[in-house]
């Protein structure tokens, strides 16, 4: 098994149990030196899509899953890896038991654009379901967003 670091809707263990039923939540941690941002507004059905970019002063909360090969293939399909929309990258996650190597997905599009209010709500709910700190969830809920979808 391999570790997958989710920073978007896949932080929610209930959602991941339907998308990747053989891959349990292993824990949570922080992706140091990266920040959550949005891009690819032209690809999202409801505004810009969550992604991460390197930033030495920031950190991103992640949920870690022990993911099987079968579930990795399903997740790659969901993330449109074959079309090049998302790229897989290896990252180091700071956890309570030490640093762990995981992979995550990064949007292959320019940073910019606004997510919808509903999409930010999904992200905040997913972070809350993964037991993210209250201030992290609150910051997600307070981010600038579109008031309506596309």
Measured from the Cβ of residue 98, the count of other Cβ atoms closer than 10 Å reads: 8
The answer to whether position 146 is within a domain reads: no
C-alpha span between 107 and 50 (Å, rounded): 8
Say which CATH number the domain at 78 has.
3.10.490.10
Phi and psi at residue 79, in whole multiples of 5°?
-85, 5
Secondary structure class of 81 (helix, strand, coil): helix
Residue 150 has pLDDT above 60, yes or no: no
Per-residue pLDDT band at 147 (split at 50, 70, 90): confident
Residue 93 has pLDDT above 70, yes or no: yes
Q: Report how many domains make up the chain.
A: 1
The answer to whether position 112 is within a domain reads: yes
The answer to whether position 101 is within a domain reads: yes
The answer to whether position 149 is within a domain reads: no
C-alpha span between 7 and 107 (Å, rounded): 12
pLDDT given for residue 42 in this prediction? 80
pLDDT given for residue 1 in this prediction? 63
The answer to whether position 150 is within a domain reads: no
**Stronger pLDDT, 134 or 45, i.e. the higher one:** 134
pLDDT given for residue 148 in this prediction? 59
Whether the pTM exceeds 0.75: the reply is yes
Reported as a single tens digit per residue, the pLDDT across 40-59 is 888 767 889 999 999 999 99
Per-residue pLDDT band at 14 (split at 50, 70, 90): very high
- Helix 117-129 with 134-141: angle, nearest 10 deg: 170
Q: What percent of the chain has pLDDT over 90?
A: 87
The answer to whether position 96 is within a domain reads: yes
**Enclosing domain of residue 119:** 2-141
């Amino acid at each position: 098994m391999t570790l997958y670091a989710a920073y978007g809707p896949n932080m929610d263990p209930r959602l991941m149990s339907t998308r990747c039923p053989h891959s349990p939540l292993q824990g949570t941690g922080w992706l140091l030196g990266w920040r959550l941002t949005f891009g690819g507004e032209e690809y999202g059905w409801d505004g810009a899509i969550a992604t991460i970019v390197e930033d030495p002063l920031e950190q991103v909360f992640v949920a870690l899953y022990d993911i099987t090969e079968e579930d990795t293939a399903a997740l790659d399909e969901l993330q449109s890896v074959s079309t090049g929309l998302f790229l897989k990258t290896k990252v180091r996650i700071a956890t309570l038991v030490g640093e762990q190597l995981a992979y995550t997905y990064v949007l292959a599009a320019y940073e910019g654009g606004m997510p919808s209010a509903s999409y930010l709500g999904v992200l905040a709910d997913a972070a809350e379901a993964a037991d993210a700190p209250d201030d992290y969830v609150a910051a997600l809920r307070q981010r600038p967003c579109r008031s309506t979808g596309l």
